[in-house]
Amino acid sequence: MFIKIHKSYRDVVAVCDSDIVGKNFESEDGKFQLDVKENFFKGEEFSEEETIKIMKKMSVEDATFNIIGENSVNAGLKAEIISQEGIKEIQGIPFALVLM
């Protein structure tokens, strides 16, 4: 999984599965899309265990999260920063946005 932390007044943590970086997914009706841009999501690559630790640490620091992909969303669930109800899907790709 890739993690890229965008520093701002409130850090934005972009987390995504490494196999979907650079891809674009669109809902059937064309109203919604996931654009997994490299410049936003492609940061450093981490294992699931490391990703969970980083997510927990950043949630304490009042960060927001943009999480895309099955492995990344599962890590977010394990880190307890998202719940099953907060997960949406486009073209079978799960994603979650977290504003803490």
Long-range contacts, stretch 50-55, CB < 8 angstroms, 24+ apart: 51/1, 51/3, 51/15, 51/75, 51/79, 52/78, 52/79, 54/3, 54/13, 55/13, 55/15, 55/79, 55/81
Q: What is the pLDDT along the chain (100 residues), one digit of tens a residue?
A: 999 999 988 999 999 999 999 999 999 898 999 999 999 999 999 999 999 999 999 999 889 999 999 999 999 999 999 999 999 999 999 999 988 6
CA dist 29 → 25, 32, 62, 86 (Å): 12, 8, 34, 21
- The owner of tokens 């490391």 is 50
From the options 3.30.1860.10, 3.10.129.10, 3.20.20.120, 3.40.50.1400, give the CATH code of 2-99.
3.30.1860.10
Taking the whole predicted model, whether its pTM rises above 0.75 is answered as yes
Kindly list the domain boundaries of the chain, sorted by start residue: 2-99
